[in-house]
Amino acid sequence: MSAAAPPPALPITFRPTRTRAVLMTVGVAVVIVLTAVGLLLESLTPGEKASFIVTGLLFFGVLALLCRPKVVAEADGVTVVNLTTTRRLEWAEVLRVNLRPGDPWVYLDLADGTSLPAMGIQPGIAKARAISDARALRALAERHGTGGADGTRD
């Protein structure tokens, strides 16, 4: 069995960058297209034209919300930012980092017996990157978690 790679230097932020790029590109394109359609159709009233623009902006807002997830690992703990929530955890609270085949994102098993989705690491478009990030977060949790004084677990 080969030795595991050392954990990355802290602080580090994990986020699905390719997914974010795709979502923001689509969002900008939709805003441009709906704005152009709304302004170019001469038969529309000003209110109808405005509704095209507002619809494009709302669509962009939803896609921007989908770009929010990230996981920030620091020396004193980890912050998980999902779509509408942010949760700060001490390293001792994170018992295990899971990314099983078919999972949409990483799950953190917590000391209170619950599981927390960490949507900042998701294998959707960049599976190899997500696996690498999950391993890095797992190594950090093992080093900084509730193990012995040297950071190892029993």
List pLDDT tens digits, range 73-94. 999 999 999 999 999 999 999 9
DSSP letter (8 states) at residue 141: H
Secondary structure (3-state) at 84: coil
Is pLDDT of 104 > 70? yes
Of the candidates 131, 63, 67, the one whose C-alpha atom is nearest the C-alpha of residue 103 is 131
Distance CA 84, CA 65 (A): 8
Q: Locate 129 and state its tokens.
A: 């990157």
For residue 21, give both structure tokens. 């790029």
> Which of the four pLDDT bands, split at 50, 70 and 90, describes residue 1?
very low
Q: Mark residue 102 as left, alpha or beta (left: phi above 0; alpha: psi -120 to 50; beta: remaining).
A: left
Cα separation of 69 and 80, whole Å? 8
Is the pLDDT at 145 greater than 90? The verdict is: no
Assessment of whether the complete model's pTM goes beyond 0.95: no
